[in-house]
Amino acid sequence: MPADEEGCIGENQSQITIKVGDIMVREVITIDENSTVKEAAEVMNKFEIGCLIAVRKGRAVGIITERDLLKRVVAEAKDVNKTKVKDVMSSPLVVVEPNLDLEEAVKLMFQMKIKKLPVVEGKRLVGLVSLTDIARFQPQMIKILKHLAARHATPKSMKKVIDYYVV
């Protein structure tokens, strides 16, 4: 859900729901699964990012992260010019849809022990959400709380926290 004019996301009768699509990165960098890990590392360095979505014929099939490069290439002393992305990427992909509640996405990350979730609509890759993106969103949550506190009477049980930490 996009933010309304006053910056409140998904406010629905005093309930706020933040969706994955509200904070996901839309410009996802991909790499062909048959590329070498050296090429993958070069792309990561060029864009200063920690992962790439691996694709086969335009479809997302895996993810290669800095951790994958360390554990499955460097630690095993594999030849970066011969090792293919498909040989060291994490697959199958764990994906979510943009309309999933952010809380559910975080639960899935904890359950699967992953820090990055590709976002798909149907079978089309439309974004990526990371634990870092979620942490970066915290200031926006403060704005939402300030907005609500200004528009509504703050419940007594919340007043101390809102007054001290938010307003």
What does the pLDDT look like over 129-153, one tens digit per residue?
998 888 888 777 777 777 777 777 7
Helix residue ranges per DSSP H, 3-137 = 20-23, 37-47, 66-69, 85-88, 102-112, 131-136
pLDDT digits (tens, 9 = 90+) for 10-66: 544 446 678 999 999 999 999 999 999 999 999 999 999 999 999 998 889 999 999
Domain locations in the chain as residue ranges: 19-136
First and final CA of the chain: distance in angstroms? 25
The third-level CATH classification (topology) of the domain covering 19-136 is CBS-domain (3.10.580)
Closest CA to 21 of 109, 114, 117, 110: 117
If you average pLDDT over residues 107-131, what whole number do you get? 92
